[in-house]
Every structure is written in structure tokens, then in C-alpha cells.
Amino acid sequence: MPNFTGEETVFTGEYGSAEKLTVNPADKNSAATVACWLLTHPQAHSSWSQYMLVGLRLGDYPDMPPAILQSPKNTHEIMVFVLNPEEGPYTSENLLKYSTPGDPEEGELPILSPINIFWQFKGTDDECNKLTIAASWGVVFGILWPETGAAPQKIRDNWAKTFELTLRHLRGEPHLMPGGN
């Protein structure tokens, strides 16, 4: 895995592409968003190919439901969910209609449930941003699989382990790869 600067915005690999989306800070629905990526992975599922990866700051925000914490110490979460293929294909441009304040066409982002990946941790916005960058890179190079349908727990456990090891790496902590190497 390369060393990421935190400024990366696009990845293209053998499994698809990832594009970092611009988040509008004036949009109340985006107040908690640290980073957001559009993932396109044609091999992940036969009926859909696009996913959203989002890094969020946990907390209470006006007009938003309160955060549900897995641990009271958690400050951030990362999620991956399927974008409804009936509304796509999605681009960074057409996704803006779902988050532009005052737009009469504005609507809720068309996602399928349940959420594929959901992981919380205690950290900084910079760590959350870099974790989303590393995860996006991992998806387009086949290290992380965005679709959980075939083996949900195994795939979610792989994401969690990858996040834990990457977070240790970002903090300069020693870490071992699975198996003790």
C-alpha cells in the first residue's frame, strides 16, 4: 500500500475506480462528513456496481438524529453502501443534486439497505480522511470488497482488520500483519 498524503482524489485500478466527492459544508446533511467517495466496482455484484464510501464525524447536529455510538469513546465512523442502480449511473456531477441546499430537485440519496460496511473508531478528522483514501484504493485494487452479500461477516471482518491495521500505521504504532508477520 502506498503512503497517502491525504490529498488523493482519484484512483483507477483493475477492479474499478474511486473518485473523492466535494462535500458542501453549507449543506446541513453534510455537516458531519469528513470525506466521501464514489466507488465503481463492476465485478462486485451482478445487479449494481456503484457504492458510496463515507467518513463521518460522530456527534449531535441540528435537524439530524443523534449518533448511535458502539462505544462512548468513538468519534468517527466509516460506511459503505450500495447506490440504487435504478437511479444511476452516478457521477460526481449528478450526485450533487442530492446534497444541494434549496434545490427543488433535491432528494434523499438513493441507497439500498442494509449498509454493507459500518466501522466506528476514536480518532481525528485527518485519520478518518486517510482511512477513506486507503479504503478507496483498496477497493479499486481488489484488497477490499465493497459487496457483502456472499460472505457478510467475513467481508466486514476483513474491512475492520484493515482499518485497525491502517489506523495503527497512521499513528506510527508498530503493528503485525495477520499471522504475526
Residue type, 58: L
Question: pTM here?
Answer: 0.88
Q: What is the pLDDT of residues 28-84, one digit of tens each?
A: 667 889 999 999 999 989 899 999 999 999 988 877 778 889 999 999 999 999 999
DSSP 10: E
Whether the Cβ atoms of residue 92 and residue 38 lie closer than 8 Å to each other:
yes
Digit-coded pLDDT (tens) for 120-177:
999 999 999 999 999 999 999 999 999 998 899 999 999 999 999 999 999 998 766 6
Q: Spell out a b/e string for 44-53, using b for 16 or more CB atoms within 10 Å of the CB, else e.
A: bbeebbbbbb
The residues spanned by each domain of the chain are 10-170
